[in-house]
Structure 1
């Protein structure tokens, strides 16, 4: 397994694309989070709002670049034909996919940590000026606060899971454009459908099974009863999607020709 990990790490760090995608993910996440924090106001006590979730809004955009990166890790090799070289050097195909998953999780986790901490810092600096103060029932964001720490750690895990889901999708489909379209459709279309459906039962069900709508409940620190699932249960749904995609992709990788 160690040679496989070394090979994947070498491929990731010796090309410019992954680095730019990770930097773009950090920038997009922090920028959207700062923008979201700057446009809301809390003008009176009890104004509501969830400062932690609001400050992590950018994760909804940053996950797009994570998905693109993860897809290219596999489907990019199919596009160039390099997958044959990879599987010749590492004939244990399950180990090859596992190595890709481990390296991807590591780099997305590191970049996600920077993005999440930057987003929370932006929220901590911006929100008090918009009325989110102790006088209005909102304390400054701090990782010493249990719910805020859970929202931050959960957001990092969520980004890593989106990467693994996308990696599995790419192993299944083997085409970059189709894989990216499939992942983004899965992430963004289910929430849209849930809003379009008038039946509250079906709306809640779609929110419970969608990898994004369920997974991002981990960011909620207030009004948890309004969420489709509990925070960790919601993240578990995203983990189930990622596991299913990886298992299916691994099985197909072992049975199909490169």
Structure 2
């Protein structure tokens, strides 16, 4: 089953280009962010590691599209009926897809994050061997992997690729938008604690950790909970509905 899903991923049109785009977008935006901060010429008061990983916020959109297409593409083409006919245990199919998405995204994300840090460090220097920087880098890779699982779960539940992409991106960005729209600091902090993107990206922080709305690993756990909930919903619906 895993081998079959692996073959499907790499024979789906656009997979390779999406992965290349994710690496380029993540590294490119990170380099741009490092270039416009004004450090170190004017003195650096920002979290350098977080700035050098800014591109993850764009890379996640590409990851979401890729993960959605893994299952949404089969629904839109009708191929999912053949898949379920060959493997009647639908949760096994979903588990295989989740495993492939996780593996492909994590490996590509590791390349993207490494490229972002190495290139950006030429413009905005930081110690790549520092423990907190390594945590920010590794956490960013896990973050992108969890975004892939979140998108896979949503796509399985929604089934329509366009609607699923819209739902995932809306879920990621609606909490920050609401945060900007409110003037209540306590409500803003609460939104940052429960929003999948805001909470998950806390793992990139390397300075001012005691002032964060949520600690780095707890923030990543919030995103993991969102991903698990999406996969659970997708799994339940895929068992209950006709293909």
| Alignment TM-score > 0.5, same fold | yes
CA–CA distance in structure 2, aligned partners of residues 53 and 233 of structure 1: 17
Q: Structure 2: 5+ residue runs without aligned partners?
A: none
Q: 2:178 aligns with which of 188, 193, 203?
A: 193
- Structure number, greater radius of gyration: 1
Q: CA RMSD in A?
A: 1.0
In structure 2, the partner of 1:141 is 127
SS at match of 2:127: coil
Q: 1:97 aligns with which of 81, 91, 94?
A: 94
1:29/1:209 CA distance change after superposition, 3 Å: same
Structure 1 residue 44, shift from structure 2 partner: 5.3
Structure 1 residue 113, shift from structure 2 partner: 0.4
In structure 1, the partner of 2:200 is 215
Q: Could you tell which deviates more after superposition, 223-232 or 96-105?
A: 223-232
Give the length in aligned residue pairs.
242
Equivalent residues of 1:50, 1:221 under 8 A apart = yes
Q: Could you state the TM-score of these two structures normalised by the residue count of structure 1?
A: 0.92
SS at match of 2:164: helix
1:173/1:15 CA distance change after superposition, 3 Å: closer
1:49 and 2:34 equivalent? no
In structure 2, the partner of 1:132 is none
CA–CA distance in structure 2, aligned partners of residues 55 and 44 of structure 1: 17
1:86 and 2:83 equivalent? yes
Q: What do residues 72-108 of structure 1 show as CA deviations (whole Å, max 9, x unaligned)?
A: 1111111000000111111110000000000000000
Structure 1 residue 36, shift from structure 2 partner: 0.2
In structure 1, the partner of 2:103 is 106
SS at match of 1:125: coil
CA–CA distance in structure 2, aligned partners of residues 44 and 19 of structure 1: 40
1:124 and 2:121 equivalent? yes
Q: Structure 1: 5+ residue runs without aligned partners?
A: 129-139
SS at match of 2:242: coil
Equivalent residues of 1:51, 1:141 under 8 A apart = no
Q: 1:241 aligns with which of 226, 236, 241?
A: 226
SS at match of 2:218: helix
Q: What do residues 200-226 of structure 1 show as CA deviations (whole Å, max 9, x unaligned)?
A: 111111111100000000000001123
1:180 and 2:172 equivalent? no
Mapping 1:7-26, distance limit 5 Å: 7-26=4-23
User: Runs (4+) of structure 1 moved beyond 6 Å?
Assistant: none
Structure 1 residue 193, shift from structure 2 partner: 0.8
CA–CA distance in structure 2, aligned partners of residues 34 and 90 of structure 1: 45
